Amino acid sequence: MKRISFCFIIALLFSLNSFSSQIPAWAKVLGRSGNDVFTSGVSFDDGCYLFGGYTTSRGDDESSYIVKMDRSGSLIWEFVYDLGGNDRITSFYKLSDGSVYASGKLNYSGSDWGFITKIKSDGSILFINRFSFATNTIAKSVKVDGLTPYIVGTCGEDSFIAKGDSITSYSIVQNVQLYDFIIDASGFVAVGTKDGIPLVVRFDTSLKYKSSFYLVKEAGQTKGRLSSIVKTTSGNYFVAGEIDSSEKSSMFVSKISSDDHVAWLNILDAREQASSRGLQFTKGGDLLLCGAFSPSSGDPVDGYASLWGVDGSIMWQRRYGGPLNDEIWSSCSASDGGYTLCGKTKSYGKDGENCFVIKTDEMGDVDVDCDFLKDANLNVTIDSGSKSPVVLTEGNLTLSMNSVKEIKKDPLNEAELICYNGPVIFEVQKLSDPFRLALLGGNFRNGCSVYIGDSASPWQKVSYKSGNKVILKSGNSLKALFPKGTPVLIRLFNPDGKNCEITYTRE
């Protein structure tokens, strides 16, 4: 076993930092006086984000909560849906048309039922189907193959894998808790826990149980669980979870080949209340791990994120938190660079728990003024890891299923910007008839001022469209300030003084 100090990556951090400064970064909280939590988030190529989870700010019971934001964190829309009582979204899977499948759980007839729903890009719901396998059922993860959704989740002490939005087929495995899965050429690979040990389960293309094994350290049996799994184009896959030891836990990442050979098992230092919440591939092909832990006894829980290479090296890691408990539950790459994290915070916003959204740069940072950014400094222990075969028992539970009609509740309409790193202009677009210029970027604020060339006075014809777009107007008067073929400086100042600049040359 080898241990790697976190110090070796300092040179890499400095080399990446020059790029990070051009990425809009910000942090926001959303919520009212109840408990409001984002459990899942996805990004889209147009720079927008979709977050989902639950809220109790519109009644005592949990209600599903979904929010769409632009790249600057401005709300595009938000919806609070009552799907039957004590319902929450647990997972999203985005589609190319901007819609998503969502899975989750709701309460019906005194017990938990799973649900699958499809949500359009405008937030409206196409359908909701709830289902139960004769006991408390929770849909944990949804994935799509072609046009067909698949779901993995728990039903009491057992777990299920199911096909279709109307569940045309399914399988049950007993005394197992499954949390996430992937679809590959041979069928499905799911991860979870059995008897308190990290577990990997294979199903064939017809959902029939094939094989399973415990993921253990080289020293032998390992207590803990697997919470997330992602796959590569070559068929290899990466898993993440926690390993338990006495009163502490260690988050870890492991690489497993397509034939289920454990390549490595890299384990972070043990901490109290350590929890691995998600593992995602980034646009750059790296791995983004998120979760939470308490640095030492008596400390509040902080959110956590770290970037890993596919060779198991850790590139950076950060904690996110204030004086109370804060957690990161989901992460994704951003279309304009950097990463987006979501979860919950008690340190910021209203009383209770608030939805926490952090848009970071490529190094996981936001701005020096953000008081919730902290070093993590968890060392990595390199373990060869191994697998220990285990045979599961298939179950035979009866499926109950019916449709649900959502009830809209009032949106929360409460969002607070905690901090941000200033505006960024990505490009200038010329608009014709009459001549105008569109400044496209991020972190623009309403009331911003724009200066052209050496002028000490701001341009008066400025139209703020959104946090991503500002229009300079005035036709020929504006055009005269940009002689053809001559570079002209454009500077944008937000009301708080944070600013950026770009040079534009009219062709």
CATH number at residue 467: 2.60.40.10
Tally of structural domains, the chain: 1
Q: Between 115 and 21, name the one with better pLDDT.
A: 115
Q: What does the pLDDT look like over 66-109, one tens digit per residue?
A: 999 999 999 999 999 999 889 999 999 999 999 999 999 999 98
How high is the pLDDT of residue 17? 34
pLDDT band (50, 70, 90) for residue 166? very high
pLDDT tens string 389-407 = 999 999 999 999 999 999 9
Please list, in sequence order, all residues whose beta carbon lies within 8 angstroms of the beta carbon of residue 382, skipping any fewer than 6 positions away.
1, 2, 3, 4, 264, 266, 312
β-sheet with 424-431: strand ranges across: 424-431, 436-442, 469-472, 462-466
**Is 6's pLDDT higher than 70?**
no
pLDDT at 188: 98
For residue 365, give the nearest of 339, 335, 385, 333 by alpha carbon: 339
Asked, for residue 239, whether it belongs to a domain, the answer is no
pLDDT value of position 66: 98
User: Does residue 453 surpass a pLDDT of 90?
Assistant: yes
| pLDDT more than 70, % of the chain | 96
For residues 421 and 98, is the Cβ–Cβ distance under 8 A?
A: no
Q: Which residues contact 116 (CB under 8 A, 6 or more apart)?
A: 101, 102, 103, 128, 129, 131, 139, 142, 149, 151, 165
Over 70: is that where the pLDDT of 371 sits? yes
Identify whether 273 is part of a domain: no
Domain that holds residue 484: 422-505
The mean pLDDT of 274-288, rounded to a whole number, is: 96
Token pair, residue 123, equals 């937030």
pLDDT, tens digit, for every residue of 465-479?
999 999 999 999 999
pLDDT mean across residues, the chain: 93
pLDDT at 283: 93
- pLDDT category at 1 given cuts 50, 70, 90 is very low
Q: For residue 15, what pLDDT is reported?
A: 34
Opening angle at CA 402, ends 400 and 407, nearest 5: 135
For residue 246, name the pLDDT band (cuts at 50, 70, 90).
confident
**385 in a structural domain:** no
d(CA 115, CA 165): 9
| All residues at 6 or more sequence positions from 31 whose CB lies less than 8 Å from its CB, including other chains | 55, 57, 349, 350, 352, 353, 354, 355, 412, 414
CA distances from 182 to 91, 178, 231, 286 (A): 13, 12, 7, 17
Report the C-alpha gap between 133 and 158 in whole angstroms: 10
Q: Name the nearest CA neighbour of 303 among 286, 282, 318.
A: 318
Q: With cut-offs at 50, 70 and 90, classify the pLDDT of residue 222.
A: confident
SS3 string, 52-65, reads EEEECCCCCCCEEE
Q: Who contacts 259 (Cβ-Cβ below 8 Å, separation ≥6)?
A: none
408 three-state secondary structure: strand
In which band, very low, low, confident or very high, does the pLDDT at 245 lie, cut at 50, 70 and 90?
A: confident
| Range in 11-20, 69-78, 114-123, 379-388 the model is least confident about | 11-20
- Count the neighbouring beta carbons within 10 Å of the beta carbon of residue 431: 12
Q: Is residue 433 part of a domain?
A: yes
Over 90: is that where the pLDDT of 329 sits?
Answer: yes
In a domain, 437, yes or no: yes
Domain assignment present for residue 446? The answer is: yes
Whether pLDDT at 49 is above 50: yes
Q: Indicate whether 428 belongs to any domain.
A: yes
Looking at the chain, the whole-number percentage of residues with pLDDT higher than 90 is 90
Q: Give the pLDDT score at 7.
A: 40
pTM above 0.75, yes or no: yes
Asked if the structure places residue 12 within a domain, the reply is no
The residue with tokens 């919470």 is 227
